[in-house]
A and B are shown apart, each in its own frame.
Chain A
Amino acid sequence: MNAGMNPGPGPVKLTRKDFTARQDVRWCPGCGNNAILAQMQKTLPELGIPRENIVIISGIGCSSRFPYYMNTYGIHSIHGRAPTLAMGLKAARPELQVWVVTGDGDGLAIGGNHLTHALRRNVDINILLFNNRIYGLTKGQYSPTSGFGARTSSSPDGSIENPVNPVGIAIGSEASFIARTVDIFQKHMSGVLRRSADHRGAALVEIAQNCIIFNDATWGDITDPDNRLDHVLYLEHGKPMRFGKQGEKGIRLNGLKPEVVRVADVGEEHLLVHDERASEPTLAYLLSRMGPPDFPTPLGVFRAVDKPVYSQLLSAQVRGAQAEKAADLDALFRQGETWNVT
Chain B
Amino acid sequence: MSASVKTREELEQVTILFSGDSGDGMQLTGSQLTTTSAVLGNDVSTLPDYPSEIRAPAGSVAGVSGFQLHFSHQEIHTPGDNPDVLVAMNPAALKTNLPRLLPNGVLIIDQDAFSARNLAKAGYEENPLDDPELGSRYQLHPVPATTLTLNALESLDLKRTVKARCKNFFTLGLVYWLYERPLEQSLEWIEKKFSRMPLVAEANRLALQAGYHYGETTEAFAVQWTVPRARNEAGCYRIINGNEAAALGFVTAAQLADKPLVYSSYPITPATDVLNHLSRWKHMDVRTIQTEDEIAAMGSAIGAAYGGAFSVTGTSGPGVCLKSEAIGLAIMLELPLVILNVQRGGPSTGLPTKTEQADLLQAMFGRHGESPLPILAAASPGDCFDTAIEAFRIAVRHNTPVFVLSEGYLANGSEPWRIPSLQSMEPIVVRHPVDPDGFQPYARDPATLARPWVLPGTPGMEHCIGGLEKHPPTGAVSYAPEDHEAMCQLRADKVARVADFIPELEVTGPHEANLLVLTWGGTCGAALTAVQRASEQGRSVAHAHLRYLNPFPRNLEALLGRYEKVLIPELNAGQLALLIRSSYLVDTLSFPKLRGQPFTVREIGARIEALLS
Contact = CB atoms under 8 A, between A and B. Distances in A.
Contact of B283 (A95, A321, A334): A321
A146 B255 CA distance: 50
The residue among A82, A318, A322 with the most chain B CB atoms within 10 A of its own CB is A318
Contacts of B578: none
A92 B303 contact: yes
B282 A88 contact: no
B99 interface: no
Contact of B307 (A70, A88, A324, A333): A88
A327 B283 contact: yes
A23 B477 CA distance: 10
Contacts of B295: 81, 84, 114
Contacts of A5: 457
B237 A340 contact: yes
Nearest to A116: B292
Interface in A68-97: 68, 70-78, 81-93, 95-96
A256 interface: no
Interface stretch (B12-20, B70-78, B131-139, B461-469): B461-469
Given A81-B295, A327-B255, A76 B236 contact: no
B283 A91 contact: no
B301 A114 contact: no
B491 to A, nearest CB: 17
Nearest to A87: B300
Given A81-B299, A339-B39, A93 B237 contact: no
B238 to A, nearest CB: 5
Assign chain A's interface to a size class: 35 or more
B35 A337 contact: yes
Given A55-B456, A333-B420, A92 B309 contact: yes
Interface string B211-233: 00000000000000000000011
Interface stretch (A45-53, A238-246, A289-297): A45-53
Contacts of B463: 73-74
Contacts of B289: 87-88, 91, 314
The SS class assigned to the A binding surface is mixed
B309 A1 contact: yes
B130 to A, nearest CB: 42
A314 B287 contact: yes
Interface in B289-341: 289, 291-293, 295-309, 311, 325-326, 328-329, 333
A2 interface: yes
Contacts of A77: 299, 302, 329, 466-467
Interface string B445-457: 0000000001111
A6 B460 CA distance: 11
Interface residues of B, number: 76
B239 interface: yes
Contacts of A68: 464, 466, 477
A120 to B, nearest CB: 9
Contact of A114 (B281, B284, B292, B328): B292
Interface string A299-342: 00000000000000010011011101111011011111111111
Contacts of B296: 81, 83-84, 87, 113-114, 117
A67 interface: yes
B457 A52 contact: yes
Contacts of A85: 299-300, 302-303, 306
Given A1-B260, A52-B461, A52-B462, A73 B456 contact: yes
Nearest to A84: B299
A333 B465 CA distance: 39
A78 B238 contact: no
A333 B303 contact: no
A43 B302 CA distance: 28
Given A73-B462, A91-B262, A318-B282, A333 B238 contact: yes
A340 B149 CA distance: 34
A4 interface: yes
A329 B233 contact: no
Interface string A1-39: 111111000000000000001010000000000000000
The 4 closest A-B pairs by CB, nearest first: A84-B299, A88-B303, A76-B466, A88-B300
Given A87-B300, A92-B305, 4 more contacts: A92-B308, A330-B422, A337-B35, A341-B235
Interface of B: 35, 38-39, 41, 185, 189, 232-239, 248, 251-252, 255, 259-260, 262, 264, 281-287, 289, 291-293, 295-309, 311, 325-326, 328-329, 333, 419-420, 422, 432, 434, 454-468, 476-477
25 contacts: A2-B457, A4-B458, A52-B461, A56-B464, A73-B456, A78-B325, A78-B329, A81-B299, A82-B299, A85-B303, A88-B304, A92-B304, A92-B308, A322-B283, A329-B251, A332-B284, A333-B248, A337-B238, A337-B239, A338-B238, A338-B419, A339-B38, A339-B236, A341-B234, A341-B236
